[in-house]
Structure 1
Amino acid sequence: MADEDATQGAAPRSQRAREALGRAGRRARELDRSEGLRTAVQRVRRALPGDAHFGDPLSLGGARHAEFAGRAVVGLTGDRPGVTREVGLGGLQLWQAVLERFGGGTGDREIVLVFTDLVEFSRWALEAGDDEVQRVLRAVSEAWETPMTDRAGTVVKRLGDGLMAAFADPAAALEAVFAARDRLAGVQVAGWTPRMRAGLHLGRPRRVGGDYLGVAVNTAARLGDRAGAGEVLVSGDLLGRLDEASLSVRRKRWHTKLKGTPEDLQIFAVDRP
């Protein structure tokens, strides 16, 4: 009789424990799905050092510890946006920033990064219509990419009316840009001749999947953004690896620093003499 009473007493206790665990689990899921809390964590992430977008497919394509751990966090949380996921990725974001700070996030070899795009393309595209835009982009792609690949360059990605390429050889990178500009001069669609601008920088970007990340990438992109129609801007780091005597070189100076670039960045406009 005593054994039966003990069994009956244990059953309610076990049931109560399961119910308590169930309530705790539901509460934890509710907190994880809290839009307000998740937004607060995202704001904190934006204020932290490192890449606040760490966790997207591009940032997780590498083989370093931070990327591996990031893939694990994403795998455990699936595609569900939540507080747990943001907190986990925020911690890895800090870890990655520390690696970048002490050199663990840089690449192991120097690469010339090239950014090109079309000047005033968006304004022209608004009036030209989709068919003409597609014709221009196809013609531009063929004009640009062949000189790049012919000189052992890699087209990393296409960026609408531009592209990003990578080269091992500085001289080949610059010659490819000049050749691309020459070929583009022969393109005309609906009475419009597209004109390109380009930025080149030598650095040690970090390889992430099929892309590159880091200050070197930002620097090349900012140079491309600042260049004028038909202009090619290069960093002082890259100019030092080129035969300056064979080029027309002009120092460029601006009152404001280019965002996301090194403090000591020197910028030059280069062309054939």
Structure 2
Amino acid sequence: MDPDDGDAAPDGRMARLRAQTVRAGTRARELDRSPGLQRAVKRLRDALPGDSHFGDPLSLGGARHTEAAGRAIVGLTGDRPGVTRELGLGGVQLWQSVLERFGRGGGEHELVLVFTDLVEFSRWALEAGDDAVLRVLREVGDAWEPPMTQRAGTVVKRLGDGLMVAFADPAAALAGVVEARRRLGELHVDGWTPRMRAGLHSGHPRRVGGDYLGVAVNTAARLGDAGKADEILVSGDLLRRLDATTVTARRKRRVRLKGVSDDLEVYAVEPV
């Protein structure tokens, strides 16, 4: 009997096991990338309660927005489309919707959430080049952050050409946005004048680390994304917390925001 025969069988079993593992991994990747399965999962997400767009740059705050879990899922899947990614995000979408429905998704304190961004920035940046883009972003940061922080606003995160800020006082939040808009109007960088839009909403977001999550955050972000150049959009909830003698408000009836309540009232406001 060959003394090496005893080792040959275990080695053969290990080789077969490795081959089976490789085949299983390949099959799993094929299923994960299946267009048909991805479409089926997308239809499922559309039918589930909550924001079916959860996981896009806006709902994650430009790589982060409402959910630590959502950020982890996007990170683990390499930010690529796939069945696993969509199922994971769908689960978080449903979980968040259930928490909000039963009143367990909110934080203890009411906050005003502000989202701002630059209008037509991406289009301008394509032609301007990286050096000009960096100059603009530095000057924009110097222009619009101090009006927020000087009024007790907390910068939650910087979103490239945008900003998320949390305030305790609605009047201070609106004043900060108006001053930031004025200061941006004075900038002229490489022949371009940055123009901003903003969305404000009040609610009880849940704090996770240094970030916030919840329906209130999503609503404020969608408001910020829906405005025109120099426009400040607020929810009806926030408007009712402002002194009516200090602002003029115009109802925006044709605004449709994805992932928020259909009965949300949207107003464009200006200081008196």
Partner amino acid for 1:166? A
Paired residues of 1:125 and 1:133 also in contact (CA < 8 A): yes
- Structure number with greater CO (CA < 8 Å, separation at least 6) is 2
Match of 1:133 in 2: 133
**Percent identity of equivalent pairs:** 56
Per-residue CA distance 1:12-64 (angstroms, 9 max, x = gap): xxx9xx99xx699788656544435876665554323356649x9958965xx
2:66–2:212 contact (8 Å) kept in structure 1: no
In the TM superposition, what is the alpha-carbon distance from 1:99 to its structure 2 partner? 2.5
Aligned ranges 1:80-91 → 2 under 5 Å: 89=88
Could you tell me how far 1:91 is from its partner in structure 2?
Answer: 8.4
- 1:153–1:31 Cα change, 3 Å: same
Pairwise CA RMSD = 4.1
> Aligned partners of 1:95 and 1:224: how far apart in 2?
25
Correspondence for 1:113: 113
In 1, the alpha carbon distance for the partners of 2:189 and 2:33 equals: 52
**1:206, distance to aligned residue in structure 2 (A):** 3.0
Counterpart contact for 2:233–2:269, Cα < 8 Å = yes
- The DSSP-based 3-state class of the residue aligned with 2:131 is helix
Runs (4 or more) in structure 1 with deviation over 4 Å come to 22-34, 36-45, 50-54, 56-62, 83-88
Q: Secondary structure at the match of 1:147?
A: helix
Q: CA deviation at 1:229?
A: 2.1
Structure 1 residue aligned with 2:194: 194
| Partners of 2:249 and 2:267 within 8 A in 1 | yes
- Cα 1:28–1:103 shift into 2, 3 Å: farther
Amino acid at match of 2:267: F
Report the CA distance between 1:180 and its aligned residue: 0.9
Structure 1 residues 197 and 255, CA gap change in structure 2 (3 angstroms): closer
Distance 1:132 1:90 in 2: 36
Query: Matched residues in 2 for 1:254 and 1:87: separation?
Result: 32
**One-letter identity of the residue aligned with 2:148:** M
Q: Name the TM-score, length of structure 1 as normaliser.
A: 0.71
- Confirm or deny that 1:263 pairs with 2:262: yes
Tell me the equivalent position of 1:10: none
CA deviations 1:221-258 (Å, max 9, x no partner) are: 222223222221211111111111022x1322333522
Distance 1:241 1:87 in 2: 38
Report the AA paired with residue 158 of structure 1.
Answer: R
Equivalence for 1:144: 144
Counterparts of 1:242 and 1:95 in 2: how far apart (Å)?
33
Offset of residue 114 of structure 1 = 0.7
SS in structure 2 of the partner of residue 270 of structure 1: strand
Aligned length: 250
What is the aligned partner in structure 2 of residue 254 from structure 1?
A: 253
Report the AA paired with residue 214 of structure 1. G
Amino acid of the structure 1 residue aligned with 2:107: G
Please tell me the residue identity of whatever aligns with 2:264: L
Q: Which amino acid in structure 2 is aligned with residue 258 of structure 1?
A: L
Corresponding position of 1:272: 271
SS at match of 1:183: helix
Deviates more, 1:160-169 or 1:260-269: 260-269
Give the distance between the partners of 1:120 and 1:84, measured in 2 at CA: 33
Determine helix, strand or coil for the equivalent of 2:202: strand
CA contact (8 A) 1:61 1:209 kept: no
8 Å CA contact retained: 1:41, 1:86? no
Q: By how many angstroms is 1:165 displaced?
A: 1.1
Contact 1:118–1:194 (CA<8 Å) still a contact in 2? yes
Q: Aligned in 2, Cα 1:194/1:208: closer, same or farther, shift over 3 Å?
A: same
CA distance change for structure 1 residues 135 and 90 in 2, over 3 Å: closer, same or farther? closer
